[in-house]
Chain A
């Protein structure tokens, strides 16, 4: 496989990307196709809590929410994963054991990435040892913005190795990269360095995930697939709060990468409040009644 020269910039026109996204937003998803998409979106959620105040109790609550999103309707599918800090991985893994729900851990000095390389590697190994089967790492934005693309490439490759069997999601923190051309370049670096998923954001920086940023990343994934036949996953994270937005994302994935990516194996939403809005919309589709949050358990 030929690794591209990352000094070369793949041109991206900002306005063109945003216009394309506006087109996705005009898609009107109705009836059965809506219910299908709402359920699919729910199965793609990485239910996330990443706070300094995440006590074992909070994480326990989240895990149960993941397994039983809406007790009133047992036909409702489970979410894809929960996403926590490394020191809550063991607990989550114990609760979720046998459920099929993945345990994702942020690592590598999340969210800044400013730890020493050694400590960041150790953190990855720790999270995997504790039971995480997915690692959400952060790239060194300082190095990327300084033009040290090989540094970023190498650190990702190193963390990938440290992951062992666990899947690696590479957080680009696109809000700090600012331009779509940077997003594209960082995506390419992550993909060629071995990412299983590329992910927009930590959720700690605004803007977090946006549709245009995600589209640029989807294009990078598509080009890689067309060159190599290998499928890389996509995870927009942060700021996706309602079902309508989630459906727009799915429209974008479908019309950019096709049906092959409409699976939790290749597309995730990093979100906390999205799950309940999806649930409310699913129940609304089934009953015809608009729903109240009072009837949906918080995570």
Chain B
């Protein structure tokens, strides 16, 4: 046994491309699967949430304005970075929740899922656009555009693959997001934020909060500058709160409750399309 003392990581919020402590300076303790203390996590506050949403809004136009090719490369870069930290994630997952075998396959699938969506960025618009044969002398076409700022409420199981499966299609489509991570697996979310941070993802595109979901989701769903909320938390009460608050500014709400993210098929461009708006343009055809 070495006498060397391990250096523990301080888990922080990830807002606007920076790691910071909660402005409230409140924290909570995350437990491992044996219910032993795993890490101290920031207990993100309403103000942290607001800051994250502001960061996401600020980054949105720029991210949407990147070429599809560039967004694809950045998602692929995320996969590369995740691959590089493969062992770390396997260890963290095993420690926090699951068997080693299961942790290994989850990390592998998460990497592959990022690769999958990396390849969609420059293809889904072609698939879901249309040239519409209107009965008048006009050229008429419809294209998908990102909805804007998406609030993501992470699931409690599938700590890594669940998170990746929610974030990837949202940002592949040019949206930015604010993630309220699972209380149980906040530390995995923190580590994923490090991957994102080192992957050329512009600051503010993905913002990750840890904290108590019940304290945050109603504000997330009620915030007037969030365009859409995606929740996989599968909590009937919170679902109702999300939907009720969503009406304030007609947010698009999506619940992915029953999806088994460990399935190979739990990925498709239709997940991207849930966070797209169709814009139709008309122009006369004349000389």
Q: Is there a direct interface between A and B, measured as CB atoms under 8 Å apart in the complex?
A: yes
Is B133's CB within 8 Å of the partner chain A? no
Q: A residues near B, CB below 8 A?
A: 13-16, 18, 178-180
Residues of B within 8 A of A14 (CB): 284, 286-287
**Which of chain B's residues has its CB closest to A15's CB?**
B284
**Which of chain A's residues has its CB closest to B285's CB?**
A15
Once the chains are docked, how many angstroms separate the CA of A15 from the CA of B287? 9
| Contacts A14-B287, A16-B284, A18-B137 supplied; 13 other A-B pairs, CB < 8 Å | A13-B284, A13-B286, A14-B284, A14-B286, A15-B137, A15-B138, A15-B284, A15-B285, A15-B286, A18-B286, A178-B287, A179-B287, A180-B287
Once the chains are docked, how many angstroms separate the CA of A180 from the CA of B286? 10
Residues of B within 8 A of A178 (CB): 287
Residues of A within 8 A of B285 (CB): 15
B interface residues, how many (CB within 8 angstroms): 6
CB distance from B219 to the nearest CB of A (A): 48
Residues of B within 8 A of A180 (CB): 287
Q: B residues near A, CB below 8 A?
A: 137-138, 284-287
11 inter-chain pairs at a CB distance below 8 angstroms, sorted by A residue, are A13-B284, A14-B284, A14-B286, A15-B284, A15-B285, A16-B284, A18-B137, A18-B286, A178-B287, A179-B287, A180-B287
**Which of chain B's residues has its CB closest to A181's CB?**
B287
CB distance from B285 to the nearest CB of A (A): 7
Once the chains are docked, how many angstroms separate the CA of A18 from the CA of B284? 11
Residues of A within 8 A of B284 (CB): 13-16
CB distance from A46 to the nearest CB of B (A): 30
Looking at A14, A178, A180, the one whose CB has the most chain B CB atoms below 10 A away is: A14
Residues of A within 8 A of B137 (CB): 15, 18
Once the chains are docked, how many angstroms separate the CA of A179 from the CA of B287? 6
Residues of B within 8 A of A179 (CB): 287
Once the chains are docked, how many angstroms separate the CA of A16 from the CA of B284? 8
Once the chains are docked, how many angstroms separate the CA of A13 from the CA of B282? 14
CB distance from A39 to the nearest CB of B (A): 36
Residues of B within 8 A of A13 (CB): 284, 286
**Which of chain B's residues has its CB closest to A17's CB?**
B286
Once the chains are docked, how many angstroms separate the CA of A13 from the CA of B283? 10
Question: Which 6 residue pairs spanning A and B have beta carbons closest together?
Answer: A14-B286, A15-B284, A15-B286, A179-B287, A15-B137, A14-B287
**Which of chain A's residues has its CB closest to B284's CB?**
A15
Looking at A14, A15, A178, A180, the one whose CB has the most chain B CB atoms below 10 A away is: A15
**Which of chain B's residues has its CB closest to A178's CB?**
B287
Residues of A within 8 A of B286 (CB): 13-15, 18
Once the chains are docked, how many angstroms separate the CA of A178 from the CA of B286? 12
CB distance from A17 to the nearest CB of B (A): 8
Once the chains are docked, how many angstroms separate the CA of A179 from the CA of B284? 15
CB distance from A87 to the nearest CB of B (A): 39
Residues of B within 8 A of A15 (CB): 137-138, 284-286
Once the chains are docked, how many angstroms separate the CA of A18 from the CA of B286? 10
Once the chains are docked, how many angstroms separate the CA of A179 from the CA of B286? 9
CB distance from A15 to the nearest CB of B (A): 3
CB distance from A213 to the nearest CB of B (A): 13
**Which of chain A's residues has its CB closest to B136's CB?**
A15
**Which of chain A's residues has its CB closest to B137's CB?**
A15
Once the chains are docked, how many angstroms separate the CA of A15 from the CA of B285? 7
Once the chains are docked, how many angstroms separate the CA of A180 from the CA of B284? 14
**Which of chain A's residues has its CB closest to B287's CB?**
A179
CB distance from B242 to the nearest CB of A (A): 46
CB distance from A239 to the nearest CB of B (A): 20
